[in-house]
Structure 1
Amino acid sequence: MVSQPDSLDAAGPPPLAGLMDEVWQEYAELVTQELHSRCSALADPLDEICGYALLPPGKLLRPLLCLESANALGADPRIAVSAAAGLELAHVGSLMQDDVIDSGLVRRGRPSVYAAFGVPAAIVSGDALISSLFDALARSDPAVADRDVIRSVRHAAQAICAMCHGQLLEDRLSGGDDCDLDAYQQMIRNKTAAAFRGSCEIGATLAGATAAEVALLGDYGEQLGMAFQIRDDLLPFTESEPDVGKPRADDLANGRPTLPLVLAARALRLPRSAFADCYRNGTFDAVVALVTDSGALERSWDMARGHVACAVQQLFSLPESPSRDRLMSVAHYAMERRV
């Protein structure tokens, strides 16, 4: 495996792990309580299946971005707790369906819903969780203006449609050799970054933000999401399998276009299928060595750093505050995370 580079900026904010102060801990507890409440309200067997997928919760990054976006604009973040939990419901629902599409047997280090409960359960339960986002928005705090609830629903719908577009783009690009950098970027902008954008837009909208403020935080979220996905693509090349939480060769075996492979194929003038052949005839470490020698890993790090810098730049238009600092720290975390 290849170690990650030094911290993005030694003078910059700490990574997310160092940010779990009382504020973020309170956010996480509020969202987790809401998730428990949502699961217990579901009818059997949805409650069992969704509870298995949701609890204990993961990083809760999208909910925390929603709450912090509201806070950064001077609103009480508690007005967005229902929406924040809804974003996690939709996120987990989309992962359940991703695993069906990819035949993914492992999620977060244990059997996926697809593996544990089967295809129908994963698809239908995923639909239930995704639709729960709209119910969560409709249950927004009474202090939120009706027009802002409607605006937030629009942002949610746009994010989900973009994610569907991104999934179809990935399907089109998977298994073949025709994936250039532009196609890859369009794919992750839709499949991954749209959810980050939507999380920030929803938090800002529920806070009563202007269109310009919503766009600013949305742009921050999109750049953060791009960096986050690139780091995700790098994890199999830099971390151990237990840390990654799924087989390191999973993306390669499924023919998914990830940035290191796209860049390595271009640098070495090889079809992407050549890396799958290398894996079948050897080990994944042989693929890591080939990709590393091509310079693709360092180029991937550079691109991720560029997106982080763009994300942070957006935040300088906001007033100085602890909330803004936390949003900056999340951007650094996108680079420094190991899981």
Structure 2
Amino acid sequence: MSSFAPFLSRYRPKLEAALQTALNHPVLNQYSGMVGMLRYHMGWEGEGAGEEAQGKRLRPMLLLLVAEAVGGDWERALSAAAAVELLHNFSLIHDDIEDRSPLRRGRPTVWAKWGEAQAINAGDAMFATAFIALEELRNHFRSEVVFQVQSLFAETCLRLTGGQHLDIAFEQDREIPVDLYWRMIAGKTAALIQTCAHIGALIGGADEALQRAFSQYGYALGLCFQVVDDWLGIWGSAALTGKSTESDLVSGKKTLPVVLGLAKNGRFARRWREGNIQPDEAPILAQWLIEEGIQAQTLAEADRLTREALEWLDRSGLSNEALQALRELTHAMLNRQK
């Protein structure tokens, strides 16, 4: 058994209970139809409900693991863990609308089931609920700590939506430089993962230097997570991801393989610049990227970022079971493509 499996099995039931409590808010309960949409999206209700539909809850698990690694009481961090998962799921509901994604974890997305207008509204409710969940921290922590958490959380929302803004804007550009790709994913993916690690350290009682080490760890991990996601978006199994592997190429997404392929200026780049990639062309373009070394280059970037994340864990100077679990979780994120 892996060293993080016992932590996850211990955290998961109480995390789900905290999430259920957050979505059982008395104001929300006045609107049963909307609550039903949120519970469906969270994987608790509807056809195909269950752990697979719920996802791995990696972000809140990361927060709880960091809190425990620095010597804190992970149970006191549950409301913060629930808040980051609710914020993440708000972003997923809206991302699915923006990307026109019909499936999420192998099930119809909220907008595909209830329409765009209701999905936008449901996402907004999830967003508000995330902030309400943070209020429970007042029962366990000093007001200045709660204020720091809320400030980090609010700034992360800006970074998250700013990164998504760039992602959508770049679809209209034929190509972008690599440095803009990194800026985009620093917001849309790395920001929340970085904040999970930072908040975990903060409410776990870490000093500023240790908080910074875990914040930088989360940042590198978040970049790596998106790079692997980009790999999966072209070469992954649709059965594994729950999404079509054609969509990233057809939609014009500026994923890392695409950006690197354009910089290579080979056969892939020439066809891409002609525009209007058709679904039946996606496998051909994916093969060209392999032949041009882009698949290997993408994985090399993911490996580099994994090493960087692990180096920040080493700099923490800590040595305990929770830290070892973080190391394993880091390797697991890299190996999602296998």
The TM-score normalised by the length of structure 1 is: 0.90
Pick one of 61, 67, 70 that aligns with 2:64.
67
TM-fit CA distance, 1:164? 1.0
TM-fit CA distance, 1:195? 0.6
TM-fit CA distance, 1:100? 1.2
SS of structure 2 residue aligned to 1:75 = coil
Residue pair 2:170, 2:253 contacting (<8 A) in 1 also: yes
- Residues in 2 aligned to 1:275 and 1:244: alpha-carbon distance in whole angstroms: 29
The TM-score normalised by the length of structure 2 is: 0.90
1:284 matched to which residue of 2? 282
- Residues in 1 aligned to 2:230 and 2:325: alpha-carbon distance in whole angstroms: 24
Aligned pairs for 1:151-162 (under 5 A) are 151-162=148-159
Structure-2 change in CA distance of 1:170 and 1:110 (3 Å): same
Residue pair 1:193, 1:225 contacting (<8 A) in 2 also: yes
Aligned pairs for 1:61-100 (under 5 A) are 61-100=58-97
2:188 matched to which residue of 1? 191
SS of structure 1 residue aligned to 2:137 = coil
Q: After TM superposition, which residue ranges in structure 1, 4 or more long, deviate above 4 angstroms? A: 274-277
Count of aligned positions: 322
For the pair 1:109 / 2:106, whether they are aligned, the reply is yes
Amino acid at match of 2:324: D
Residue pair 2:3, 2:324 contacting (<8 A) in 1 also: no
Structure 1 unaligned blocks of 5 or more: 1-16
Residue pair 2:196, 2:218 contacting (<8 A) in 1 also: yes
Pick one of 133, 138, 143 that aligns with 2:140.
143
- Residues in 2 aligned to 1:128 and 1:227: alpha-carbon distance in whole angstroms: 30
- Residues in 2 aligned to 1:253 and 1:239: alpha-carbon distance in whole angstroms: 15
2:303 matched to which residue of 1? 305
Structure-2 change in CA distance of 1:196 and 1:22 (3 Å): same
TM-fit CA distance, 1:133? 2.0
- Residues in 2 aligned to 1:170 and 1:62: alpha-carbon distance in whole angstroms: 21
TM-fit CA distance, 1:23? 2.0
For the pair 1:45 / 2:33, whether they are aligned, the reply is yes
SS of structure 1 residue aligned to 2:176 = coil
Structure-2 change in CA distance of 1:229 and 1:251 (3 Å): same
- Residues in 2 aligned to 1:24 and 1:256: alpha-carbon distance in whole angstroms: 33
SS of structure 2 residue aligned to 1:121 = helix
2:47 matched to which residue of 1? none
TM-fit CA distance, 1:254? 1.6
1:33 matched to which residue of 2? 17
* Identity, % of aligned positions: 28
- Residues in 2 aligned to 1:209 and 1:127: alpha-carbon distance in whole angstroms: 33
Structure-2 change in CA distance of 1:297 and 1:161 (3 Å): same
2:247 matched to which residue of 1? 250
Structure-2 change in CA distance of 1:253 and 1:156 (3 Å): same
Residue pair 2:234, 2:248 contacting (<8 A) in 1 also: no
TM-fit CA distance, 1:68? 0.9
Higher relative CO (CA 8 A, sep ≥ 6), structure 1 or 2? Answer: 1
TM-fit CA distance, 1:154? 0.8
Structure 2 unaligned blocks of 5 or more: 44-49
TM-fit CA distance, 1:333? 1.1
2:7 matched to which residue of 1? 23
2:335 matched to which residue of 1? 336
- Residues in 2 aligned to 1:275 and 1:236: alpha-carbon distance in whole angstroms: 21
Aligned pairs for 1:189-268 (under 5 A) are 189-268=186-265
SS of structure 2 residue aligned to 1:316 = helix
- Residues in 1 aligned to 2:40 and 2:309: alpha-carbon distance in whole angstroms: 33
Residue pair 2:257, 2:295 contacting (<8 A) in 1 also: yes
